[in-house]
Amino acid sequence: MAATHSGVRQARPDDGAQVVPLLVEAIDHLALHLAGAADHAAAVPFFARLFETGGNRYGREHVLVLEQGGEIAAAILGYPGRDEAALAAPVLAACRARDPSAHYRLEAESSPDEFYLDALAVAPRHRGAGHAATLIAAACARAAQAGHARAGLLVDVDKPGVKRLYAKLGFAVDGERRLAGHRYEHMSRALGEV
């Protein structure tokens, strides 16, 4: 479904080189855990394969981008929470293929009744221009058009500025999650609000 916000569009295969590093930065601790990587740059190849292959929670079919002047200024990753387990299965399989001795399991991030905004990232030179709010609005509009009543997301407890942005956009804390040993707050809002 096409987004109606200016400059926002569905991710394409050729966006990976710009989008994947942004998403890895946003996914942060969890990206390093899943990729078995020590830093973001080392995690990019693992997530690039997932982005290109599709059919998983990090596939390009779940990504909207905001393009400006021929470059990706920001990206948001989202999908129905009820699909999280099915979309996570190929990711967990890729983790097990990478490290057969490790025990990977689904750590639920979303609620089944929400459209889950998994990751949001703005390229450094585009920060402060309102792109995060634009992409959240576009993703929420897309989710509402698809019949979803709520949107949810996780915010790292170590990022209070990000939490303030989400609160300003109508999201409220309604729970907590622990993923890969790190603490996050779950925030949600009804769609059609704000």
Nearest to 120 by CA among 80, 86, 189, 166: 166
Report pLDDT for 77.
97
> Rounded to an integer, what distance in angstroms lies between the CA atom of residue 130 and that of residue 112?
29
> Rounded to an integer, what distance in angstroms lies between the CA atom of residue 118 and that of residue 177?
13
Q: Characterize 90-101 residue by residue with b for buried, 16 or more Cβ atoms within 10 angstroms of its Cβ, and e for exposed.
A: bbeebbeeeeee
Report pLDDT for 108.
86
Print pLDDT tens along the chain (194 aa): 344 457 999 999 999 999 999 999 999 888 998 999 999 999 999 999 999 999 999 999 999 999 998 899 999 999 999 999 999 999 999 999 988 887 777 788 899 999 999 999 999 999 999 999 999 999 999 999 999 999 999 999 999 999 999 999 999 999 999 887 889 999 999 997 54
Domain ranges of the chain: 8-190
Residue 144: CB atoms within 10 A of its CB come to 16
3-class SS of residue 153: strand
Report pLDDT for 3.
43
> Rounded to an integer, what distance in angstroms lies between the CA atom of residue 57 and that of residue 83?
9
User: DSSP code of 191?
Assistant: T
Task: Give the E-state strand segments of 114-170 in sequence order.
Answer: 115-122, 150-156
Report pLDDT for 179.
82
CA angle 171, 166, 118 (to 5 degrees): 90
Give 3-state DSSP helix, strand, coil % of the chain, rounded to 5: 45, 25, 30
Report pLDDT for 99.
87
pTM for this model (two decimals) = 0.91
Report pLDDT for 193.
55
Q: Residues with Cβ < 8 Å from 79, sequence gap 6 or more?
A: 57, 62, 87, 115, 116, 118
CATH superfamily of the 8-190 domain: Gcn5-related N-acetyltransferase (GNAT) (3.40.630.30)
Strands 71-80, 63-68: pairing kind: antiparallel
